[in-house]
Amino acid sequence: MRMPATLIAPATALALAAPAYAKVIPVPAGQNAQGRLQEALILAAPGDVVELGEGRFVLTDGLSLDIKGVTVRGAGMEATVLDFSGQKGAGEGLLVTSDEVTLRDFAVENTKGDGIKSKGADNIVYYRVRVTWTGGPKETNGAYGIYPVSSTGVLVDGCKVSGASDAGIYVGQSKAITVRYNYVEQSVAGIEIENSRDALVAHNFVTRNTGGILVFDLPNLPVMGGGNTLIASNMVVGNDTPNFAPKGNIVAGVPRGTGVMVMANEGIEIAGNTLVDNPTAHIIVVAYPKAFTDKSYNPYPRDVRIIVNLFLGGGDDPQLPGGKQLAQAFGGALPPLVWDGLGEAPRFPAPNGEVLKALNLGLASQGANPATAKPTLMAIKGSAPDLFTVAQGQASAGPPQPGAPAALDARARP
């Protein structure tokens, strides 16, 4: 039977794209798990699947993967566990440095350093991965649970993280990012997007962290100028864990009880979220608070838009200088939005006549001591609505649309 000419070209392209000898490499739990699993990660070829069996893999050292296009697949985040409780070194549990990798359906527990780190790994997918420090919040826990950095194309989907001493899910110095349908608890920051662009953070549940969702831009890093980030349709509930980050860490300054915090970014849209019982404030917008020397760095927030969010409770125990007195002065709780008074005031695209109440801390300058604040209540009047549609995930910031390439979805949800 001859193949129709119209099918020859697509079929040829598919054949060229597919690895010629892709295979499944089974790695069962049991004795010598460290050596057998690392050997499989070294010997895998592009397109191969390293298939982890059910059970607990007792590991004493970190693992690494540097082969493009490999899938590491377990039997489920509760069924396949990489246990690093006896890890001798201080590094991450798994380090990925190759492109087009998919990590799915397994758990990582009790690493001395970060849980899973991918560096310079473009088009990486984390799907239904769990990272946990089983002893609860401790300063000695690893900093990051899921940690992609310096990448173009990142999808973190359906994952679960708890106990990170910095951020449960952290994406840094990257672009074209989607973080969705994740559950993060008992970490200092639930989800953090840092020095990155074109990120979509949507449909996540963040609770019992110090701060729920952070979007930061910091100086003196290889990549700066974070922005064009959409935070949409998340549940940000009861983030009230005391801050347990090591001293000197930037997130050590995040007040307990923060819902969403934006620092020194531009083009950030916070829309369609449900924010409940975050005791300091549901949304905090601030400038970078420390001294810096990089003249190319802009420390101020710009073009922050707050649209159709639901605020319930919160603001009743603000961890700010004079917070107790401020709450009493405003009837027992702070308004949903706290702005330090520096940079551009957040906008409230909504039908004219609607008002978003906010606390303006009235800092005089970038780097000023918070104790010198001169707080006042302000009302941000609604302006003509932007073109944002929560259901469709369309950002009013215009092109490029935030989010990971659509091709990554097929690897997460084939």
Query: Whole-angstrom Cα distance, residue 61 to residue 89?
Result: 6
Residue 393 counted as domain residue? yes
Going by their DSSP bridges, the two strands 376-381 and 355-360 should be labelled as: antiparallel
List the beta bridge partners of residue 205.
Answer: 183, 235
Query: Whole-angstrom Cα distance, residue 147 to residue 119?
Result: 8
Residue 356 counted as domain residue? yes
Other beta carbons within 10 angstroms of residue 110's beta carbon come to 22
Q: Which of 74, 82, 76, 80 is nearest to 58 (CA)?
A: 82
Which pLDDT belongs to residue 56?
Answer: 98
Question: Do residues 279 and 242 touch, judged by C-beta distance below 8 A?
Answer: no
Residue 303 counted as domain residue? yes
Which pLDDT belongs to residue 85?
Answer: 97
Structural domain span for residue 209: 199-402
**Is pTM, for the whole model, over 0.95?**
no
Going by their DSSP bridges, the two strands 274-276 and 197-202 should be labelled as: unpaired
Q: Which residue has the tokens 């690093």?
A: 84
Burial class of residue 164 in the structure, from the number of CB atoms within 10 Å of its CB (0-12 exposed, 13-18 middle, 19+ buried): buried
The 10s digit of each residue's pLDDT in 241-297 is 999 999 999 999 999 999 999 999 999 999 999 999 999 999 999 999 999 999 999
Residue 168 counted as domain residue? no
Which pLDDT belongs to residue 190?
Answer: 98
Residue 173 counted as domain residue? no
Residue 315 counted as domain residue? yes
pLDDT at 13 exceeding the cut of 90: no
Which pLDDT belongs to residue 3?
Answer: 41
Each residue of 51-69: b (16+ CB within 10 Å) or e?
Answer: bbeebbbbbeebbbbebbb
Which pLDDT belongs to residue 350?
Answer: 79
pLDDT at 139 exceeding the cut of 60: yes
Number of domains in the chain: 1
pLDDT at 111 exceeding the cut of 70: yes
The 10s digit of each residue's pLDDT in 25-57 is 999 999 999 999 999 999 999 999 999 999 999
The 10s digit of each residue's pLDDT in 205-254 is 999 999 999 999 999 999 999 999 999 999 999 999 999 999 999 999 99
Residue 127 counted as domain residue? no
Question: Do residues 66 and 44 touch, judged by C-beta distance below 8 A?
Answer: no
Burial class of residue 12 in the structure, from the number of CB atoms within 10 Å of its CB (0-12 exposed, 13-18 middle, 19+ buried): exposed
pLDDT at 1 exceeding the cut of 60: no
Amino acid present at 87: Q
Residue 182 counted as domain residue? no
303: phi > 0 → left, psi -120 to 50 → alpha, else beta; which?
left
